[in-house]
């Protein structure tokens, strides 16, 4: 597997040096698997992960490697990838490495369950899940979006819970294996090394399980019951480990974490006492442990407000652990942060100016190193840094005095501080001062950083020009693939944000760059990213075959493979819908494409599950939602519900885009399965979730389901259930009409008319006025055939809404506007509404009933000419009789009803007949 950044010759030289350091000779790797394993471990210990992975690839291709060694290469590759991820400062890269590691470890355990390393592989699988939790916490810390922050913390919480279970499983299996090995073995017994390895792995799993519980506690708010309970659970495990194995490394490490728990509980004296005791340990093999202990000690001193001592200890730590990897480790960044924070805490208004200047320099020097890397300390470090190093324009005179290296250093510092304007100034100066002959690699690095700064400063076209120059002029350069990614993202953002420019040209330029990247770096992640981007563009254009080809071309070993397969399934589904819209001609092809889509989406979802994807992961949820929709719309809603219901139940965080998509798919399945009450519950959950897509049309379908349910309850005469469903329907209609996207004239008009059927005049008025306003302003709508008639219908419904609220003057004015149309005034509906308005005015004492009776009689006589007579004919005579009864003309009202009944025994239907008979009973 090719790796960026090192030349092959250099790798071999470094690798040989490592083996010498490790005390092992190198012959052919195939001659002794033990030497190969030691070699790999030595590479990992020294952070040479790319060399280790290349070496594993060499072993895979060596025909002389014993089968025993080849069988464990997946284990070693997975372990190496996790080690690299744990030290990577690039959060995106870290996630990709963890995903790759998962596939190798899962495959190893599946194919070699009886291999002695399979138990250790379980520990590594748990560590992979644990690192995913850490990654989610870091992303959450850096997020400015409260919803994303909450979602990431919840994702971390779920990951830590899963990691606990995974470590527990590994610890139990290792403990069971440990019991099968005799406690005493002679020194020459070949089982001795295996026993020691199993015992150490068992303790490691137990320790990591406890640390996972400590980290799980950190996902809850300070002082919350959940945090206190989880911290106590972790503390008990640490105490047991230390008491039982105090002479082992795991026991001493557990004692350190025991002190950390005391520190969190406010028992600073006890914690500091343990830290000091551990720091006095003389064994040089405890250097890594003491490095962590010393950091915790500094934190505890700061909590006890011993700021000067804490700052001194931080300086001592930095002097003791000065290697590059140590300074960039989590505790190294933490110590730099604590140094700055404790110096800051000692400054007062009375601090002399010269001392303040010296202190400020120390604070800035420490924090600019912290903010360069992803860590829990980055956000607060940036806040402190802004106080001591505010943004200021770079003067030309200042730039002219800088050397190339100085300008680069200042630019990197500006990027770390998120001051991209300053970074641009420094990197532009660096590029001008660079040696284009002997130092082209350094100049290109400055160009790359300049392109990045342009992009972050939203200067998208400048970023693209520079990035494309690197990608096309230096295709073999180590930074060129990443430069192409900056160029593509710049063009995408320019297309989305600069809507007044030539967006078509931006898109065509993007396609050209993406094609170049996919072809040039076909075997790299950047090539996969380019294919994903191309697929998205083609899908948006309706070029389904092109999109399918791009998604299918993403490498099988790519960390983006699952995402590509999810999109591939979605592309097949989109193509199936397009074919289905062609009618009978495309039906067979549509069914075939739909079957392919479902198959791809099912397999991808299973791959995500086996890869340990968190149940709240956006990619996992989107995959499940797409599959659920495809099943539902191919007449398999029950299968969709069986798929989605357990996933919905597992969601602890009920917000965000992924959750909204899941619930929308779940709601669609419930609607198609006729599940009314569950669908209403899902609708409420969707409203609370926030972001979503296609919601208005989904609600429209739910509304139709509710209408059918109301009709069923009316027929059943279940008045209690009918009232409850009507309330739910009203709530639903309100949610539908408040949704601002995805609406059509038809969906809003239907919602308004449904509100009128519930006598919700005020809500209907708001919706109808919105319909009129949006339709009149939309030239595409007004050009449609029949648009004027639609608007008259909307105005008529508005008159009804106003009448229901007794806004009679407004209602009358609106109705007059409808009746003024020489065609529409002959329709029955406006004349019925005119009668209803006269009835309402008379009931409120604003008019007399004679006018209402006369109107209804006149309308009935007009309708009498129709054969067969419509229901509105009988309803008009009913209203006429009602108006006469209100005028105390009871006999005339009875005569009217009886006369109609004699001439029309059926009265147009049983419901109208019952209505007449019940009214006659009241007129006796």
Taking only the tens place, the pLDDT of each residue in 270-287 is 999 999 999 999 999 999
Residue 887 within any structural domain of the chain: yes
Q: How many CA atoms lie within 13 A of 560 on its CB side?
A: 22
Cα separations in angstroms, 541 against 241, 537, 545, 601, 725: 60, 6, 11, 22, 42
Lowest pLDDT segment from 250-259, 551-560, 701-710, 769-778: 701-710
Which of the listed residues 368, 390, 412 is the one where a domain comes to its end? 390
Residue 880 has what pLDDT? Answer: 95
CB of 666 closer than 8 Å to CB of 660: no
Same domain for 831 and 887, yes or no, is: no
Residue 28 has what pLDDT? Answer: 44
Contact residues for 654 (Cβ-Cβ < 8 A; gap 6+):
685, 688, 689
Mean pLDDT of 740-769: 84
Of 445, 369, 468, 457, the closest CA to residue 418 belongs to 457
Name the helix (H) or strand (E) containing 430: helix 420-433
Tell me if residue 869 falls in helix, strand or coil: coil
- Residue 765: which region, alpha, beta or left (left: phi > 0; alpha: psi -120 to 50)? alpha
Asked whether the CA dihedral 668, 672, 673, 674 is positive or negative, the reply is: positive
- Residue 198: which region, alpha, beta or left (left: phi > 0; alpha: psi -120 to 50)? alpha
Which contacts of 272-275 are long-range, i.e. CB under 8 A and separated by 24 or more positions? 272/297, 272/300, 272/301, 272/304, 275/300
Tell me if residue 905 falls in helix, strand or coil: coil
Q: How many CA atoms lie within 13 A of 158 on its CB side?
A: 17
Of 415, 416, 379, 411, the closest CA to residue 394 belongs to 411
Number of domains forming the structure of the chain: 5
Residue 64 within any structural domain of the chain: no
Residue 162 within any structural domain of the chain: no
Mean pLDDT of 860-886: 92
Residue 788 has what pLDDT? Answer: 85
Same domain for 786 and 842, yes or no, is: yes
- Residue 786: which region, alpha, beta or left (left: phi > 0; alpha: psi -120 to 50)? left
Going by pLDDT thresholds of 50, 70 and 90, the confidence category of residue 519 is very high
Residue 19 within any structural domain of the chain: no
Which of the listed residues 412, 430, 454 is the one where a domain comes to its end? 454
Of 670, 658, 654, the closest CA to residue 706 belongs to 670
Residue 730 has what pLDDT? Answer: 81
Of 211, 259, 210, the closest CA to residue 237 belongs to 210
Q: Is residue 113 exposed (0-12), middle (13-18) or buried (19+ Cβ within 10 Å)?
A: exposed
Mean pLDDT for all residues in the chain: 86
Same domain for 772 and 760, yes or no, is: yes
Going by pLDDT thresholds of 50, 70 and 90, the confidence category of residue 6 is very low
Residue 761 within any structural domain of the chain: yes
Which of the listed residues 411, 426, 454 is the one where a domain comes to its end? 454
Residue 890 has what pLDDT? Answer: 92
Contact residues for 167 (Cβ-Cβ < 8 A; gap 6+):
123, 126, 130, 205, 206, 208, 209, 212
Tell me which residue range forms the domain holding 868. 849-924
Residue 157 has what pLDDT? Answer: 85
Q: Residue 887 gets which letter from DSSP?
A: T
pLDDT tens profile 40-82 = 888 888 888 888 888 888 888 888 788 888 888 888 888 898 8
Residue 731 has what pLDDT? Answer: 76
Residue 699 has what pLDDT? Answer: 67
What CATH number should be reported for the domain holding residue 811?
A: 1.25.40.10
Residue 50 within any structural domain of the chain: no
Mean pLDDT of 143-155: 77
Same domain for 277 and 332, yes or no, is: no
Distance CA 529, CA 215 (A): 33
Alpha-helical regions (H) of 112-224: 117-142, 146-179, 191-217
Distance CA 299, CA 307 (A): 10
Of 181, 66, 62, 34, the closest CA to residue 119 belongs to 181
Residue listed under structure tokens 């990838």: 81
Same domain for 251 and 344, yes or no, is: no
Residue 32 has what pLDDT? Answer: 61
Same domain for 320 and 378, yes or no, is: yes
Question: What separation, in Å, do the N-terminal and C-terminal C-alpha atoms of the chain show?
Answer: 96
Same domain for 856 and 911, yes or no, is: yes
Quick count: other Cβ atoms within 10 Å of Cβ 60? 14
Residue 103 within any structural domain of the chain: no
Distance CA 675, CA 480 (A): 54
Residue 292 within any structural domain of the chain: yes
Same domain for 285 and 333, yes or no, is: no
Same domain for 284 and 326, yes or no, is: no
Distance CA 522, CA 236 (A): 52
Q: Residue 824 gets which letter from DSSP?
A: G
Residue 121 sits at the vertex; the CA angle it makes with 119 and 123, to the nearest 5 degrees, is: 80
Distance CA 845, CA 615 (A): 63
Same domain for 752 and 832, yes or no, is: yes
Same domain for 757 and 835, yes or no, is: yes
Mean pLDDT of 334-351: 94
Same domain for 342 and 260, yes or no, is: no
């Amino acid at each position: 597997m090719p790796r960026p950044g090192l030349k092959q010759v250099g790798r071999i030289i470094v690798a040989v040096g490592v083996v010498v350091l490790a005390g092992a000779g190198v012959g052919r790797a195939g001659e002794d698997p033990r030497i190969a394993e030691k070699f790999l471990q030595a590479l990992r210990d020294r952070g040479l992960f790319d060399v280790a992975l290349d070496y594993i690839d060499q072993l895979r291709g060596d025909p002389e490697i014993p089968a025993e060694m080849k069988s464990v290469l997946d284990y070693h590759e997975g372990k190496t990838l996790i080690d690299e991820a744990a030290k990577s400062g690039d959060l995106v890269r870290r996630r990709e490495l963890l995903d790759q590691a998962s596939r190798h470890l899962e495959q190893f355990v599946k194919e070699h369950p009886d291999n002695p390393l399979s138990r250790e592989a379980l520990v590594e699988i748990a560590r992979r899940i644990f690192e995913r939790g850490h990654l989610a916490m870091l992303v959450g810390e850096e997020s400015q979006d409260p919803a994303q922050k909450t979602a990431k913390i919840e994702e971390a919480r779920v990951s830590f819970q899963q990691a606990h279970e995974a470590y527990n499983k590994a610890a139990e299996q290792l403990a069971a294996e440990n019991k099968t090995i005799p406690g005493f073995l002679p020194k020459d017994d070949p089982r001795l090394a295996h026993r020691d390895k199993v015992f150490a792995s068992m303790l490691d799993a137990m320790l990591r399980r406890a640390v996972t519980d400590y980290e799980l506690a950190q996902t809850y708010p300070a002082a919350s019951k959940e945090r206190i309970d989880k911290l106590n659970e972790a503390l008990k495990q640490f105490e047991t480990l230390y008491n039982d194995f105090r002479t082992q490394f795991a026991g001493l490490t557990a004692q350190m974490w025991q002190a950390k728990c005391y520190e969190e509980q406010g028992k600073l004296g006890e914690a500091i006492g343990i830290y000091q005791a551990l720091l006095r340990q003389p064994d040089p093999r405890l250097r890594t442990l003491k490095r962590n202990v010393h950091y915790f000690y500094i934190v505890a001193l700061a909590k006890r407000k011993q700021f000067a001592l804490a700052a001194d200890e931080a300086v001592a730590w930095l002097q003791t652990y000065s290697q590059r990897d140590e300074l960039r480790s989590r505790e190294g960044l933490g110590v730099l942060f604590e140094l700055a924070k404790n110096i800051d805490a000692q400054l007062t208004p009375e601090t002399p100016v010269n001392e303040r200047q010296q202190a400020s320099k120390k604070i800035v020097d420490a924090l600019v190193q912290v903010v360069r890397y992803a860590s829990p300390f980055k956000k607060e470090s940036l806040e402190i840094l802004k106080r001591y190093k505010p943004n200021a324009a770079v003067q030309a005179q200042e730039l002219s005095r800088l050397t190339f290296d100085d300008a680069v250093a200042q630019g990197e510092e500006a990027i770390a501080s998120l001051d991209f304007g300053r970074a641009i100034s420094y990197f532009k100066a660096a590029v001008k001062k660079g040696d284009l002959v002997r130092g082209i690699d350094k100049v290109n690095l400055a160009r790359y950083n300049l392109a990045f700064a342009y992009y972050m400063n939203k200067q998208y076209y400048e970023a693209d020009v520079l990035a494309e120059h690197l990608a096309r002029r230096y295709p073999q350069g180590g930074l060129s693939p990443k430069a192409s990614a900056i160029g593509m993202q710049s063009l995408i953002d320019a297309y989305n944000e600069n809507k007044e420019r030539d967006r078509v040209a931006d898109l065509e330029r993007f396609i050209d760059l993406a094609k170049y990247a996919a072809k040039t770096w076909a075997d790299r992640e950047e090539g996969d990213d380019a294919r994903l981007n191309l697929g998205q563009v083609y899908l948006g254009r309706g070029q389904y075959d092109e999109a399918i080809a791009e998604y299918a071309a993403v490498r099988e070993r790519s960390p983006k493979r699952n995402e590509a397969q999810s999109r591939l399934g979605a592309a097949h589904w989109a193509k199936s819908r397009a074919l289905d819209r062609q009618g009978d001609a495309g039906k067979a092809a549509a069914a075939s494409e739909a079957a392919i889509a479902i198959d791809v989406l099912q397999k991808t979802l299973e791959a995500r599950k086996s890869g340990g994807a968190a149940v709240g992961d956006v990619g996992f949820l989107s995959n499940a939602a797409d599959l659920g929709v495809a099943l539902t719309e191919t007449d398999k809603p029950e299968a969709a519900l069986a798929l989605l219901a357990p996933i919905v139940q597992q969601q602890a965080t009920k917000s965000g885009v992924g959750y909204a998509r899941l619930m929308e798919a779940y709601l669609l399945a419930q609607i198609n399965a006729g599940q009314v009450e569950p669908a209403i519950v899902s609708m409420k959950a969707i409203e609370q979730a926030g972001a979503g897509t296609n919601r208005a049309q989904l609600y429209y379908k739910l509304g139709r389901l509710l209408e059918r349910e109301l009709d069923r309850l009316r027929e059943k005469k279940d008045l209690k259930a009918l009232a409850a469903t009507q309330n739910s329907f009203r709530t639903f209609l309100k949610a539908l009409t408040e949704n601002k996207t995805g609406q059509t004239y038809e969906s809003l008009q239907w919602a308004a008319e449904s509100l009128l059927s519930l006598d919700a005049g005020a809500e209907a008025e708001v919706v109808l006025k919105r319909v009129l306003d949006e339709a009149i302003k939309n030239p595409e709508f007004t050009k449609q055939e029949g648009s004027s008639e639609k608007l008259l219908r909307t105005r008529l419904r508005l008159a009804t809404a106003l009448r229901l609220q007794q806004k009679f003057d407004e209602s009358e004015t609106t109705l007059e506007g409808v009746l003024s149309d020489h065609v529409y005034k002959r329709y029955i509906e406006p004349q019925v509404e005119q009668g209803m308005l006269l009835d309402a005015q008379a009931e409120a004492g604003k008019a007399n009933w004679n006018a209402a009776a006369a109107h209804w009689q006149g309308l009935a006589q007009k309708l009498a000419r129709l054969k067969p007579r419509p229901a509105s004919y009988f309803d008009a005579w009913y209203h006429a009789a009602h108006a006469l009864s209100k005028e105390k003309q009871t006999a005339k009202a009875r005569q009217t009803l009886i006369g109609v009944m004699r001439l029309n025994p059926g009265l147009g239907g049983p419901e109208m007949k019952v209505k007449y008979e019940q009214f006659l009973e009241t007129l006796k």
